[in-house]
Structures are given as C-alpha cells and as structure tokens.
Chain A
Amino acid sequence: MKNHLPSNDILLIDRINNHDESALADLYDKYGAHVYGTAIHILRNQVLAEEATQDTFMKLWKQSARWDPDRGQLKTWLMTIARYTAIDRLRAEKRESPWTAIGLDDMLNLVGQSNVIDDSIWYDKKQVEGLLQHLSIEQREAINLAFLNGMSHTEIASKLKLPLGTIKTRIRDGLQMLKGLWLHETE
C-alpha cells in the first residue's frame, strides 16, 4: 500500500535539497517542538537538548536527499534521527560506550519499511496511551529504558539488578502484546 503523504513535506524537502534556508526555517517551525521535546525528554537537560536538536536539524539539512517519501513520513524520519541523536548524546555524557546495537542507518531503514497509512493509530497519542496501559508497569519500564535511554538488555538488567532473562522476557512480551493489540485494532 502506497502512502498518501502530505505533499507539503515533499515540497519542503525538495526546497531543502536545493539548499533553501527558508525551507529549513519552515521545517523547524513545523517540527522543532517535537524534536526538542524528544531531546529534552531523553536528556533532561536544556543545554544538551538544544545541542541535540541542533545536531538533528543539521543531519537532516546535510542528508535530506536520503529521505524517500515512498518509505515513510518526513516526521517519522526526523523523529528517528532526533531520538538516535539524543540517546547518542546521553550515552556520551554518561561516558558510556557509543550506542552500537543498531546504527542510525539501520534504524532509518527499519522505520522506512513500515507501510504507514495516514490514519494509523500510532499517530493518535490517546489511542497509543490506551494500548500501553495494557502492559504491566515492569514491561513499560523495561521498554522505556531501552527505547528512550538506548539501554541494551544487559544494561537494563544491571541497572535494575534483575536477571537478564527477566528483562528479555519483559521487553519481548510487552512488545508482542502491543503487536497483538495493534493488529486487533486495525482489523
């Protein structure tokens, strides 16, 4: 199924590909709060969040030609870069090893291959929150530590002082439950 993407995003990226700075300003006006919100949520520090936001928009400014409108929304692409950049910075600030479990290119390829439709429930925050409520607190905690802090199974197990198998199970079962709920909702 092909995406019916907002044509203004395609026009926006076309202008950025032509180094139109006003297009970058428009992009920032449209998505800057979302990018900064992600950065501040992950980094919990305004200075670091500003730097991560700046890095995110510069990555897009330099690599805009890599976005394929047939493979997902611009906002998804941008937010994926934002999350990756913020987690990268978080780990650097904590003097942890770089987040190597999945590279940015792999991550962009992953979100790019999901055939997103305009009325996907995943763009309705209230519906997503409703689905997440079906998970246990422990499952949500493990998933958030991975998703928002870039922590691996092993690191989460060490942080929570729990067996590795327990953490793997919580993440797997939590996401499999979300998968089941999502498929049910979209039937």
Chain B
Amino acid sequence: MKQNRPLQNNADCDELRDLLPAYVIGATTKDEAERVKKLLPVCPDIAKDLDTYAQISIGLTQQIDPVIPPASLKSKILEQARTPEIEPHNNVTPTNYPKFGWSVAAAIILVLLATNIFLFTQLNDTTSRLYVLESTNEEITRLLTDQQLQQIGLQSTGEQDTVRVATLLWDTTDNTLVLVSDQLAQLDVSQTYQLWFIDGTTPVSAGLFQVNPQNRALQQISLDTQLTNYQAVAISIEPSSGSTAPTTDPIALGEISA
C-alpha cells in the first residue's frame, strides 16, 4: 500500500542522524539547524531520537550544582515584577500632548540618510554599561503634561514610507527623558528593543524596553550626561539581555538638536 508521506532519502536521513545530537544542544550553525528542521518530517525514524536527545539535554543541565544567590537578588526580582507596565491611554490626557512638526521630522531623516549615519561601529569602551529603564507614574505624568518639553521623533528606517515609531520627550530644564511609542511590534521572548544615543558614530546604550500587548511603550530614561552630548537617538532589536553594542541595524532613528 502506498503511504501518503514524503519518501525517506537515505542520504538525507543519514545527514539528519549526524546533525540531530548537535542540534538539540545548540551546537549546529544556523544553516544546519534549518536543515534539521526540514529533514525531521522527512525522516520520522530518525526524528524519534529527538525525544532521547532532549532528555540528555535536560540531564546535562542537572549536572550544574545549585548556588545560593546573593541575598539582595530576591528583592530586586520582586521589585522588578512590581513595576507595572504603563498604559498610556490610562495615564495621559491626549489634549495635553504637544504638537510635533512632521516636516521637521522628515527633514531630519533625509539628512541622516544622506550622511550615512546609519553605520554602527563596535564599541571598544569596556566600561560601557546598560542603563536599565525605570518608570514612575508620577514622573511620566508630569512630563507628559508639560507643554514646555521638547520632542525628538524617531522615524522608521525601513525601505517603505518612513513613519514615526517612537518619540523621546525631553525636559531640557532637568534633562528628564521619557520614551513613548505605540508603533512597535511585540517581539519574541528572546529579543528586546534597545535604545541608543549616538555620539559621532559611537552608539551608547540608553537601556532596554518592551512593548505591552497593545504595542505601547512608555518609560523614563536615566541619563548621567547632557542629552546634547549626543547627535542622534536610535532603536535596534537585540537579544533579550541586551547588547553592549548594536548587533542589528537600527529600526528607528531621530536627530537630537542642541
């Protein structure tokens, strides 16, 4: 009787048998991993071993001894869990939102494209730190209702029409900053958005942020230097724990005016 499934090719299945153990522990290259995924449905007899290798992977983890963490770590984790994600529509009165000049934003992007400021270079500064974004309802509300603050629009860098995907609100009197966005997609759990301030061609991390299920982000940014020390601000997508230097091209850019 003819079976209604892809025919097993011996060479393909031999290849899968060779790659499967390494795939399960993450030792394959990206191309090899893609190859494994393609071959698994084609070679069901070999694919049965996936279960066993997954067990081995679990076992290898069990080898590591537990270590009592520092006493302060528990409270840090619970404190972070308590920090709520801000819902802008619950906390912001839209009529207080200052207007933004779209023509100015468009001009900024054209200048940035022309000067090729999109190029990111690896940081050599080993003291670069990741700033953890924190948010406080009170501070954000004060900033959003302050009509004296300056706005820096971050425009998308895609090949299609550029749109503003985020806005940096800047109180120039005390250097308070808040990032606001409602145009960014939710990311996979293994990724995060990272904000960068650019000094010349050197990006400096301003911290990580996520968007809520409504695709909104609203977070205060701590900066220990004047914003005017930087010429541009950018957003990139990085691994979930962040990066010391951008590993992907920016998805949004904005110019900082002195």
Q: Which residues from chain A sit less than 8 Å from chain B, CB to CB? A: 21, 24-25, 28-29, 32-34, 36-38, 40-41, 46, 49-55, 57-59, 61-63, 76, 79-80, 83-85, 87-89, 91-93, 95, 97-107, 110-111, 113-116, 120-123, 125, 128-129, 131-132, 143, 146-147, 150-154, 156, 168, 171-172, 174-176, 178-179, 182-183
Contact = CB atoms under 8 A, between A and B. Distances in A.
Contacts of A143: 25, 27, 60
Nearest to A147: B25
25 contacts: A25-B78, A37-B65, A51-B241, A53-B69, A53-B77, A54-B76, A89-B241, A92-B242, A92-B244, A92-B247, A98-B238, A98-B239, A101-B27, A106-B33, A110-B50, A111-B58, A122-B62, A123-B59, A125-B63, A143-B60, A146-B27, A147-B60, A168-B22, A182-B52, A183-B52
Given A146-B26, A172-B22, A38 B244 contact: no
Nearest to A171: B22
A57 B50 CA distance: 27
A103 B188 contact: yes
A113 B51 contact: yes
B72 to A, nearest CB: 8
A30 B100 CA distance: 51
B64 A37 contact: yes
A107 B62 CA distance: 16
Contacts of B104: none
Contacts of A107: 26
Interface string B66-82: 11111001101110111
Contact of B57 (A55, A106, A110, A172): A110
Nearest to A152: B29
4 smallest A-B Cβ distances: which pairs? A122-B59, A175-B21, A146-B27, A33-B66
A114 B51 contact: yes
B27 A152 contact: yes
Contacts of B188: 103-105
A128 B59 contact: yes
A122 B29 contact: no
B22 A153 contact: yes
Contact of A128 (B23, B32, B62, B190): B62
A37 B66 contact: yes
B22 A146 contact: yes
A36 B63 CA distance: 14
* Size category of the binding interface on chain B: 35 or more
A179 B57 CA distance: 11
Contacts of B1: none
A101 B33 contact: yes
Contacts of B63: 125, 128-129, 132
B93 interface: no
A37 to B, nearest CB: 4
Contacts of A91: 239
B30 interface: yes
A104 B189 contact: yes
A30 to B, nearest CB: 11
B202 interface: no
Nearest to A51: B241
B228 interface: no
Interface centre among A54, A89, A106, A129 (most CB of B within 10 A): A54
Contacts of A54: 73, 76-77, 80
Contact of B240 (A59, A95, A156, A171): A59
A48 B142 CA distance: 34
Given A21-B82, A58-B81, A113-B54, 8 more contacts: A49-B69, A50-B76, A88-B190, A95-B245, A107-B26, A146-B25, A179-B49, A183-B52
Contacts of B32: 101, 153
Given A51-B241, A152-B29, A172 B52 contact: no
B112 to A, nearest CB: 25
Contacts of B70: 46, 50
